[in-house]
Amino acid sequence: MRTAYTSDQIRTAERALMATLPEGTLMSRAAAGLAAVCARLLTGVHGSVYGSRVVILAGSGDNGGDALYAGARLARRGAGVSAVLAGSRTHEGGLAALLAAGGRAGAFAEDRAADLVREADLVLDGLVGIGGSGALREPYGTLAGLAADTRGLVVAVDVPSGVDAGTGEVAGAAVRAQVTVTFGAYKNGLLIDPGAERAGAVELVDIGLGPYLPGPDVEALTGDDVVRLLPQAGVESDKYRRGVVGIAAGSDRYTGAAVLSVGGAVRAGAGMVRFVSSAEPVRYVRARWPEAVTTVLRDGAESSDASQASQAQGSDGSDDPLREVGRVQAWVLGPGLGTDARAHALARAVLAEDVPVLVDADGLSLVAGDRALLRRTAPTLLTPHAGELSRLLGVPRAEIEAGRLEHVRRAAAELGATVLLKGSTTVIAENGHPVRANTTGTPWLATGGTGDVLSGIAGALLAGGLSCYDAAACAAYLHGLAGRDAAGGGPDGRGRAPIAALDVALALPAAIRALTWASIGPGQ
Ligand SMILES: NC(=O)C1=CN([C@@H]2O[C@H](COP(=O)(O)OP(=O)(O)OC[C@H]3O[C@@H](n4cnc5c(N)ncnc54)[C@H](O)[C@@H]3O)[C@@H](O)[C@H]2O)[C@@H](O)CC1
Ligand SMILES: [K+]
């Protein structure tokens, strides 16, 4: 598990640790770790530290101090180090160390700074760290812009300047780093977009903070965590123990969403998928996924094929649209369902069931229009994107995208459900738990239908017995991994080829297999 913290949590832990150590120990540990990472990177891009050009963007606080002390270490190894002093003050000890090591420093002047930054092999962003708040003031904002034009690497100290360490929010200009060297523990903003995306690869330097840290504010599952949580198929397993997931999705207008959702569930290892919809989507689902057992809803009645084509009619006269469906351990409600009266009646019936229900897509629109649907005792998992959450909370979409952590938490509290907010980083909130941020994925996943696949994966995991919180986090992880594999991309998620949503479903078994082998080895 990767754990992350707010700036206040980090400061409190740092104070407690500092009280046990001689003054300056922590900064010296931080600077040593930072210099070691920079030396390694410089060796990669320049061939050696000696003779390389390093430019430090130094703010007025301890973040600047870290950068200056690290610069001194690099200067002692023969790097040409120049510091641009951007603040009204400068960390005195750090500056003295840099100058004593043969480095240079000068106050900010835009032309000179632009030249230095452009020609650098490595730009060290020490403008602000966990002490930053709000949009970068000048000249920091200008320097963040100049850093984008360097031909060298940009390394952020602790957090990229301009990224709110506690939330990942970016209020204005912000440094975009290839590498962020962070001290003691991850900060939330390194896991949550838009900040996470500015951080690049994150390297954690141990400064001894571990024993002083409280429970995390945010966490991210690793592959090993996912393998540990996934339901395992054992010799005793039958389809009911593996989990039967019901999927109420699709409409005559939207058949594809149903096919994709069922596909996600089938390929994520559901013991059985029971699919309930009108005739047209049922036809498509049966054609693509013969594994699914389908039930056709017709004008308030329904017929079930129970794998065969028998046309069972409800005989008890009740208008429960689920009466012929059979046993289900968790439901997925909503992809392509529409929002008409038929869809509303189906939503009401599904949400009245005493099993976990995942609500997605049109299901979320129905719930936004009739909050009473969420009054239930069994667990509910909502999986909105920012637009859908905007309707649920009555908050503009842009605000949700800018403040993902705040809004996913608020949604979980207000709606009394587990909430998975989709996006460039998917985040999951449940009252009383750390928010989970997903670290897998690829920009290629931003294509129509991938959310439908995700709903099926999470539904299968819910039916397999995972809690909403674990099912959501594992589903997001596997979905991101499968998307990445389908795109043929590297571990940074930058795939080379576009993908279609169905590719993600099809890539799932191989992604799960690779993950399991990496975690426990073949033959286990
Ligand atoms: N406290 C500790 O024990 C340690 C702290 N360390 C470093 O210290 C950093 C925190 O240092 P500080 O508390 O001095 O804070 P920072 O150096 O992060 O920032 C504070 C300074 O930035 C200015 N500032 C804040 N927001 C700004 C904005 N939007 N635009 C322009 N200027 C802004 C403030 O006026 C203040 O001068 C950490 O991020 C880390 O790099 C490390 O050395 C490890 C140990
Ligand atoms: K920084």
Report ipTM for this prediction.
0.98
Gap from CA of 59 to ligand 2 centroid (Å):
8
- In whole angstroms, give the CA distance from residue 318 to residue 300: 9
- In whole angstroms, give the CA distance from residue 514 to residue 522: 9
Q: Where are the alpha helices (DSSP H) in 328-379?
A: 341-352, 362-369
Which atom, in ligand 1's list, is nearest to the CA of 60? 37
Structure-block tokens of residue 91: 């960390």
DSSP 108-157: --HHHHHHHHHH-SEEEEES-STT--SSPPTTHHHHHHHHTT-SSEEEEE
Gap from CA of 19 to ligand 1 centroid (Å):
19
Residues in the chain: 524
- In whole angstroms, give the CA distance from residue 4 to residue 401: 20
Of the candidates 406, 413, 405, 421, the one whose C-alpha atom is nearest the C-alpha of residue 454 is 421
Gap from CA of 160 to ligand 2 centroid (Å):
5
> Atom 39 (ligand 1): residue with closest C-alpha?
129
Beta bridge partners of 298: 301
Structure-block tokens of residue 282: 């049922």
Gap from CA of 21 to ligand 1 centroid (Å):
20
Q: What is the DSSP letter of 306?
A: T
Gap from CA of 414 to ligand 1 centroid (Å):
34
Contact 54, 80 (CB under 8 A): yes
Of the candidates 262, 228, 132, the one whose C-alpha atom is nearest the C-alpha of residue 189 is 132
Side-chain half-sphere exposure of 335, counting CA atoms within 13 A? 31
Q: Is 334 left (phi over 0), alpha (psi -120 to 50) or beta?
A: left
Which atom, in ligand 1's list, is nearest to the CA of 183? 44
Of the candidates 322, 359, 364, 321, the one whose C-alpha atom is nearest the C-alpha of residue 339 is 364
Q: What is the DSSP letter of 172?
A: S
Q: Which ligand is nearest to the CA of 69?
A: 1
Helix (H) or strand (E) holding 107, with range, is strand 104-107
Which atom, in ligand 1's list, is nearest to the CA of 18? 3
> Atom 23 (ligand 1): residue with closest C-alpha?
132
Q: Which fold has domain 223-228+240-304+325-520?
A: UDP-N-acetylmuramoyl-L-alanine:D-glutamate ligase (3.40.1190)
Ranges of CATH 3.40.1190.20 domains, the chain: 223-228+240-304+325-520
Gap from CA of 63 to ligand 1 centroid (Å):
5
Structure-block tokens of residue 69: 């002390």
pLDDT given at position 492: 61
Please list every protein residue whose CB sits less than 6 Å from any atom of ligand 1: 14, 18, 26-27, 30, 59-64, 66, 87, 128-137, 140, 157-158, 183, 207
Structure-block tokens of residue 403: 């403040």
CA 214 to chain centre: 22
Tell the burial category of 118 from Cβ atoms under 10 Å away from its Cβ (0-12, 13-18, 19+).
middle
Q: Which ligand is nearest to the CA of 140?
A: 1
pLDDT given at position 390: 97
- In whole angstroms, give the CA distance from residue 465 to residue 474: 12
Gap from CA of 194 to ligand 1 centroid (Å):
20
The phi, psi pair for 155, rounded to 5°, reads -115, 120
Ranges of CATH 3.40.50.10260 domains, the chain: 2-220
Choice from 63, 108, 124, 138 to test ligand 1 binding pocket (greatest atom count within 8 A of CB):
63
Contact 194, 159 (CB under 8 A): no
Q: What is the DSSP letter of 400?
A: H
Q: To which residue do tokens 């500056």 refer?
A: 95
pLDDT given at position 274: 98
> Over the range 295-313, which residues count as b (16 or more CB within 10 Å of their CB) and which as e?
bbbeeeebbbbeeeeeeee
pTM above 0.80, yes or no: yes
pLDDT given at position 318: 57
Gap from CA of 127 to ligand 1 centroid (Å):
8
> Atom 19 (ligand 1): residue with closest C-alpha?
131
> Atom 21 (ligand 1): residue with closest C-alpha?
61
- In whole angstroms, give the CA distance from residue 423 to residue 405: 12
Binding site members for (6S)-NADPHX: 62-66, 129-135, 140, 158, 257, 336, 385, 452
Of the candidates 116, 144, 146, 113, the one whose C-alpha atom is nearest the C-alpha of residue 128 is 144
> Atom 11 (ligand 1): residue with closest C-alpha?
62
The phi, psi pair for 312, rounded to 5°, reads -70, 135
pLDDT given at position 311: 37
> Over the range 141-158, which residues count as b (16 or more CB within 10 Å of their CB) and which as e?
bbbbebbeebebbbbbbb
Gap from CA of 164 to ligand 2 centroid (Å):
10
- In whole angstroms, give the CA distance from residue 167 to residue 179: 19
Which atom, in ligand 1's list, is nearest to the CA of 27? 43
Query: Rounded to 5 degrees, what angle do the CA atoms 127, 212, 4 make?
Result: 55
pLDDT given at position 240: 73
Binding site members for K(+): 63, 125, 161
Average pLDDT per run of 10 along the chain, which is 524 residues long? 98 97 96 98 96 98 98 98 97 98 98 98 98 96 97 98 97 97 98 96 97 98 96 73 93 95 97 96 97 85 43 48 91 97 96 98 97 96 98 97 96 98 96 97 89 98 97 98 85 72 95 87 56
Contact 224, 8 (CB under 8 A): no
Structure-block tokens of residue 92: 């005195």
- In whole angstroms, give the CA distance from residue 78 to residue 102: 9
> Atom 16 (ligand 1): residue with closest C-alpha?
131
CATH number of the domain located at residue range(s) 2-220 in this protein: 3.40.50.10260
Q: Where are the alpha helices (DSSP H) in 370-488?
A: 386-393, 397-402, 404-415, 450-463, 468-487
Choice from 130, 167, 187, 213 to test ligand 1 binding pocket (greatest atom count within 8 A of CB):
130
- In whole angstroms, give the CA distance from residue 359 to residue 364: 6
